[in-house]
């Protein structure tokens, strides 16, 4: 959710010698004909066939084949999680306990693998082999990649769906008016979007060049997912919009920002629009040209805690558009290689994405956050406060305690009397241009009075 200039495509990414030449770099001189090495044949990707959905105690014979269908001999078989299922030297799988394991086949000519799902009983399992609308409760599994169809799966007006993709690939997944539903282990190259859902969990999935997105939803959990963007122009990788009591935990988000002065890659990691009671905790967020976590509009009773953020163009925590924060906690976050730990102010316009919310900033806590390696980022200035909060409207009772800004100046807090110095803050030498709060002494140079400890 950028507040700056437009996007620019990263035209050149040097990953090979030939790419270096194409980008104007200097590669090594071409080898003489007699020194040209003999190419090493590429390893074959083996396909594994056989029953992969088993009840406890059942067995299945797996077979490894080359792409042309030839059976491969001299195979070494391995189970990644033998407590769930074992595999013999001949490729016979035995199911032992509920769960999922991956069976790996290795041969001199190549290797491959397949996921095996073990359940108490497979009689009620519905196997999906093509894109479809899921409108009845039940346990669904995907037994193959499904590269066509977008969205591939639509889960609508239903409660009690468990969808396990077993690591298979597909396009978008849509949930609408669904409840008590889980989506797990999906490889999605587009969005997983949900609207008006309750008690939905998305876990163990990989989303590439898309958004994990909940709109007007409650009790949603996004946990243990990997999200990455390889292109320029996406707004964010996770979005919570106009809902409540949602949780984003233990996810890894990676954008394409290169650390430069222009808007390359993805805008933000996580954006929270007009939400209440959310928890954003223990996520790894890196390479975004604006913010790691951005708020838009009203944010109430939300915890942003213990997130690790790196290589950002503006700040770890940010809010610009119709900022109205009340009783939120920003605690234990670690931000490195960014211009600021936090940058918060109030502006209006179409990026408020809804009615103009009056400015407010009260009862918020910034506690025990750590900031290191201040960089220029995408801003116009090479210097700024390590924490900057400048708000109109109602500003009162905001706690600043135990934050470590390293050598960065700041905080800069306006109006200063809307903030409480809880003590223990560390920052660089006082500079009146970038600071109105002295960490070491707790004396505000702007007001001339000692802040409360």
The residue-averaged pLDDT of 58-74 equals 86
Residue pair 403/428 in contact by the 8 Å Cβ criterion = no
pLDDT at 33 over 70: no
pLDDT on residue 280: 98
Q: Which domains can be identified in the chain, with CATH numbers? A: 45-119 (2.60.40.1080), 209-423 (2.160.20)
β pairing state of 47-49 and 247-249: unpaired
pLDDT on residue 380: 65
CA distance 232 to 79: 39
At 54, the pLDDT band (50, 70, 90 cuts) reads confident
CA distance 376 to 262: 11
CA distance 94 to 151: 35
The 10s digit of each residue's pLDDT in 390-436 is 999 999 999 999 999 999 988 999 999 999 999 999 998 888 888 89
pLDDT on residue 382: 59
The 10s digit of each residue's pLDDT in 139-156 is 899 988 998 888 999 999
CA distance 437 to 425: 10
| Distance linking the first and last C-alpha atoms of the chain | 36
Q: Please give the angle made by the CA atoms of 261, 392 and 372, to the nearest 5 degrees.
A: 40
């Amino acid at each position: 959710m950028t507040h700056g200039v437009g996007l620019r495509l990263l035209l050149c990414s040097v990953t090979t010698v030939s790419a270096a030449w194409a980008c104007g770099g200097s590669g090594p001189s071409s080898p003489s004909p007699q020194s040209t090495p003999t190419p090493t044949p590429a390893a074959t990707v083996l396909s594994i066939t056989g029953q992969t959905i088993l009840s406890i105690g059942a067995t299945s014979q797996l077979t490894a084949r080359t792409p042309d269908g030839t059976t491969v001999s001299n195979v070494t078989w391995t189970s990644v999680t033998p407590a769930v299922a074992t595999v013999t030297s001949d490729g016979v799988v035995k199911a032992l306990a509920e769960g999922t394991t991956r069976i790996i086949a290795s041969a001199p000519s190549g290797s491959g693998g397949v996921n095996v799902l073990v359940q108490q009983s497979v009689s009620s399992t519905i196997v999906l082999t093509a894109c479809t609308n899921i409108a009845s409760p039940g346990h669904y599994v995907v037994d193959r990649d499904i590269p066509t169809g977008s969205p591939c799966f639509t889960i609508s007006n239903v409660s009690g769906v468990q969808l396990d993709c077993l690591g298979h690939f597909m396009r978008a997944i849509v949930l609408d008016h669904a409840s008590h539903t889980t989506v797990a282990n999906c490889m999605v190259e587009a969005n997983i979007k949900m609207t008006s859902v309750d008690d939905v969990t998305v876990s163990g999935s990989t989303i590439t060049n898309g958004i994990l997105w909940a709109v007007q939803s409650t009790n949603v959990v996004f946990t243990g997912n990997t999200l990455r963007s390889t292109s320029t122009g996406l707004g964010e990788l996770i979005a919570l919009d106009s809902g409540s009591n949602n949780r984003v935990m233990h996810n890894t988000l990676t954008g394409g920002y290169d650390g430069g002065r222009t808007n390359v890659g993805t805008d933000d990691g996580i954006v929270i629009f007009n939400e209440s009671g959310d928890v954003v905790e223990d996520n790894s967020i890196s390479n975004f040209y604006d913010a790691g976590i951005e708020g838009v509009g009203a944010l109430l009773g939300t915890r942003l805690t213990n997130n690790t953020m790196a290589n950002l163009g503006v700040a770890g925590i940010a809010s610009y558009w119709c900022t109205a924060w009340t009783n939120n906690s920003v605690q234990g976050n670690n931000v490195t290689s960014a211009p600021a730990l936090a940058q918060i102010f109030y502006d209006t316009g179409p990026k408020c994405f809804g009615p103009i919310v009056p400015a407010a900033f009260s009862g918020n806590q910034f506690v025990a956050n750590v900031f290191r390696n201040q960089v220029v980022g995408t801003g116009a200035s090479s210097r700024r406060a390590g924490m900057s909060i400048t708000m109109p409207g109602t500003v009162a009772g905001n706690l600043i305690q135990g934050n470590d800004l390293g050598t960065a100046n700041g905080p800069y807090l306006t109006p200063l009397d809307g903030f409480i110095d809880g003590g223990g803050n560390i920052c660089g030498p006082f500079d009146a241009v970038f600071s109105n709060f002295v960490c070491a002494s707790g004396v505000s140079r702007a007001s001339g009075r000692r802040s409360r400890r």
